[in-house]
Structure 1
């Protein structure tokens, strides 16, 4: 568990603020709003073999680095979005094997009706499997009755602290996020920031390929307001190959985490031979601008 001093509180907006947690060192594969210098272009070019996350140039991820270059591998094409906020019909959804939505498909004030419309739209998509986790705007979903949520969202697989195996690829979805305070109405699936790691993130299994959450891990495409407990569990224990999330709209894009640059965070769990982790913020909605769906080819 984290020491209580890890979280502070901004009194005027009631947003959890992290005071003393080390930052993850990552390589940005796509544009990051905090890094606009010429050095960013050189960094992006140096990792161009990873792909760009588009339909024509998807991110390429292998289950194990030893598989790189081998032939006749199985693979799934993942088409991923988050935070579409009633505008999913306005973006192009490329074809693929698995469609993934990481929460906030709707707005909190019209949740019930809009989720039905969203469910109907997802039913028209051609993907063989469609996965969804909730977000903080999905206030009409009862966290204690995931069976009812699945019944409402019957055109997709609803994941709430569950794992699904798709052709040998294990994907775990969890919708929780640290609680922000009483001034916020869109607070579905919010959890006390002091307990969320022990009660929720510690239950994420270690034998998964892909992790879906709504909230970002702290310091990775999150404006430093993500969850430190999630970061620590992901990079020191779970170590999925891909972590997909949303929530922080301005930080859409992908970053690559390498253990060799993060010994301070990993501590005695550090392993120099660990596989890299692809972190992707999938937030589509940018006010008047809408980002594109992210495409990932996963080989195993």
Structure 2
């Protein structure tokens, strides 16, 4: 068992100080393959205003557009991503992506020609398992940006239970309950409790990436040894913790930074 008082902290998720995560912490110091992931979410038509570092894999966790103009803007987003130098580009939908049909992911993939579109799908990128699922508990019929809203009574059985365990990366748009999901205007935590329970009791990815809650951008780690959630921008490389990252870039009049992760496996 990895000790609680791990002495090696590494990275803050920036281009110069990326999060460094090992699939198996026991392999630290040994020869490993690795990929650099450059990650973001909730750019809402402003991706061209954000610095995107070079890397191997580009990930966007939804809401690249605004719901009122999504049909037009998703084309612009696809064109922009096509100009990026990353070898792999991955996208999942968000609640503003009303132009994407939840029942026809094949049509969404045909529209998003410059990236891999994931909807309840596992892919292998050079030996790294990545699963993407865009769903979130439905808010109600009067909420217009309601793409991929799902009945909260059935979302676990129909969606979260289908996520395979032991994957490297899990991509969702919605946060898990209590982890970077606080809505300051309503003073509520709006993450999904069923998603949290599935993640920490069964799925146990090394990294969970999400967005949606703009005010909660940043990283937290889940201490597997004593079930604690630690807020902050430091991740202990030599641990079995799950790294949770809220990638929501758009901060009103300003923008957060892309999150950079070096993943060794």
State TM-score, norm by structure 1. 0.80
Q: Structure 1 residues 114, 47: CA separation in 2 closer, same or farther (over 3 Å shift)? A: farther
Provide Cα deviations, 1:254-291, integer angstroms capped at 9, x if missing partner.
0111122218xxxxxxxxxx821000000000110110
1:144 maps to which residue? 103
The secondary structure found in structure 1 opposite 2:225 is helix
Q: Residue by residue, what CA displacement relative to the aligned partner does 1:39-94 show, whole Å, maximum 9, x if unpaired? A: xxxxxxx9882301011100010001211222x21001000000000000000000
Structure 1: give runs of 5+ residues left out of the alignment.
Answer: 1-45, 264-273
Give the corresponding residue for 2:214: 249
Match of 2:20 in 1: 60
Structure 1 counterpart of 2:58: 99
| Residues 1:235 and 2:235 aligned together | no
2:168 to 190, 203, 209: 209
Deviation by residue 1:5-37 (Cα, 9 ceiling, x = unmatched): xxxxxxxxxxxxxxxxxxxxxxxxxxxxxxxxx
Structure of higher CA gyration radius = 1
User: Aligned equivalents of 1:207 and 1:193: distance in 2?
Assistant: 25
- SS of the equivalent of 2:74 reads helix
Partner in structure 1 of residue 257 of structure 2: 292
Closer/same/farther in 2, CA of residues 122 and 47 from structure 1, 3 Å limit: farther
Separation of aligned partners in 1, 2:112 and 2:8: 37
Unmatched segments (≥5 aa) in structure 2 = 1-5, 183-188, 229-238
Q: Does 1:196 align with 2:155?
A: yes
Structure (1/2) with the larger helix percentage? 1
Equivalent-residue separation in structure 2 for 1:290 and 1:207 (angstroms): 33
Q: 1:123 to 1:47 in 2, by over 3 A?
A: farther
Alpha-carbon shift at residue 175 of structure 1 (Å):
0.1
Shift in CA distance, 66/48, structure 1 to aligned 2, threshold 3 Å: closer
Runs of 4+ in 1 over 3 A off after TM superposition: none
Alignment equivalent of 1:83, drawn from 30, 38, 42: 42
Structure-2-length-normalised TM-score: 0.90
**What count of residue pairs does the alignment treat as equivalent?**
244
The SS at the match of 2:37 is strand
Give the corresponding residue for 1:134.
Answer: 93
SS of structure 1 residue aligned to 2:9 = helix
In 2, distance between residues paired with 1:243 and 1:48? 21
